[in-house]
Amino acid sequence: MKKIFIAVLFLGTLFSSNGIFAQTETSGRTEYRQTHTKSTELKHTKLKVNFDYAKEQMNGEEWLTASPHFYPSDSLILDAKAMLIHEVALDKNGAKTPLKYAYKDDMLRITLDKTYTRNQDYTVYIKYTARPNEVKDKGSAAITDAKGLYFVNAQGKDADKPTQIWTQGETEASSAWFPTIDKPNQKTTQEIYMTVPDKYVTLSNGLMKSSVKEGNGLRTDHWVMDKKHAPYLFFMGVGDYAVVKDKWRNIPVDYYVEKEYEAYAKQIFGNTPEMLEFFSKKLNYDYPWSKYAQITARDYVSGAMENTTAVLHQESAQQKPGDLIDENRWEDVISHELFHHWFGDLVTTESWSNLTVNESFANYSEYLWNEYKYGKDFADYTLMKAAEGYFRDPSNVTKDLVRFNYHHKEDMFDAVSYNKGGSILHMLRNYLGDEAFWAGMHDYLKTNEYGTGEAHQFRLSLEKVSGKDLNWFLNQWYFNSGHPTVS
Q: How far is the CB of 358 from Zn ion (least distance, A)?
A: 6
Element (H, E) at 440: helix 434-448
CB 255 within 8 A of CB 294: yes
CB 133 within 8 A of CB 403: no
Q: How far is the CB of 171 from Zn ion (least distance, A)?
A: 12
Nearer to Zn ion, 73 or 419 (CB): 419
DSSP assignment string, 348-417: EESSGGGTHHHHHHHHHHHHHHHHHHH-HHHHHHHHHHHHHHHHHSGGGGG--SS-S--SSGGGGSSTII
- Write the burial class of residue 475 (CB in 10 Å: 0-12 exposed, 13-18 middle, 19+ buried): exposed
Q: How far is the CB of 280 from Zn ion (least distance, A)?
A: 19
| Site membership for Zn ion, residue 1 (CB under 5 A) | yes
| Site membership for Zn ion, residue 470 (CB under 5 A) | no
Segment interacting with Zn ion, rule: CB under 5 A, options 24-32, 122-130, 141-149, 362-370 = 362-370
- Write the burial class of residue 103 (CB in 10 Å: 0-12 exposed, 13-18 middle, 19+ buried): middle
| Site membership for Zn ion, residue 297 (CB under 5 A) | no
Nearer to Zn ion, 345 or 454 (CB): 345
**What letters, b where the CB count within 10 A reaches 16 and e where it falls short, cover 388-400?**
ebbeebebbeebb
Nearer to Zn ion, 2 or 429 (CB): 2
Nearer to Zn ion, 3 or 131 (CB): 3
Binding mask 47-66 for Zn ion (x = CB under 5 A): --------------------
Cβ neighbour number for residue 485 with a 10 Å cutoff: 5
List the interface residues with Zn ion, window 2-21 (CB under 5 A). 2
Q: How far is the CB of 287 from Zn ion (least distance, A)?
A: 17
Nearer to Zn ion, 1 or 402 (CB): 1
Determine the Cα angle at 16 with ends 14 and 20, to 5°: 115
Nearer to Zn ion, 82 or 142 (CB): 142
Nearer to Zn ion, 163 or 353 (CB): 353
Q: Which of 246, 243, 248, 454 is nearest to 352 (CA)?
A: 454
Report which residue type is found at 274: E
Q: How far is the CB of 127 from Zn ion (least distance, A)?
A: 35
DSSP assignment string, 333-351: HHHHHHHTTTBTTTEEESS
Nearer to Zn ion, 261 or 339 (CB): 339
How many helices (H) does the chain have, and how many strands (E)?
Answer: 11, 22
Q: Which of 265, 362, 445, 455 binds Zn ion (CB under 5 A)?
A: 362
Alpha carbons 438 and 444: distance in angstroms, whole number: 10
Q: How far is the CB of 307 from Zn ion (least distance, A)?
A: 11
Segment interacting with Zn ion, rule: CB under 5 A, options 65-73, 176-184, 188-196, 354-362 = 354-362
Q: How far is the CB of 362 from Zn ion (least distance, A)?
A: 4
Segment interacting with Zn ion, rule: CB under 5 A, options 147-155, 175-183, 249-257, 361-369 = 361-369
Q: How far is the CB of 303 from Zn ion (least distance, A)?
A: 9
387-394 contact pairs (CB < 8 A, 24+): 387/419, 387/423, 389/6, 389/10, 389/415, 389/419, 390/415, 390/416, 390/419, 390/420, 390/423, 392/10, 393/10, 393/13, 393/14, 393/17
Q: How far is the CB of 344 from Zn ion (least distance, A)?
A: 7
Nearer to Zn ion, 2 or 420 (CB): 2
Per rule CB under 5 A, count of chain residues that contact Zn ion: 4
Q: How far is the CB of 335 from Zn ion (least distance, A)?
A: 11
Nearer to Zn ion, 2 or 46 (CB): 2
Nearer to Zn ion, 264 or 364 (CB): 364
Q: How far is the CB of 461 from Zn ion (least distance, A)?
A: 21
- Write the burial class of residue 335 (CB in 10 Å: 0-12 exposed, 13-18 middle, 19+ buried): buried
CB 448 within 8 A of CB 467: no
Segment interacting with Zn ion, rule: CB under 5 A, options 104-112, 182-190, 243-251, 352-360 = 352-360
Residues that bind Zn ion in the complex, under the rule CB under 5 A: 1-2, 359, 362
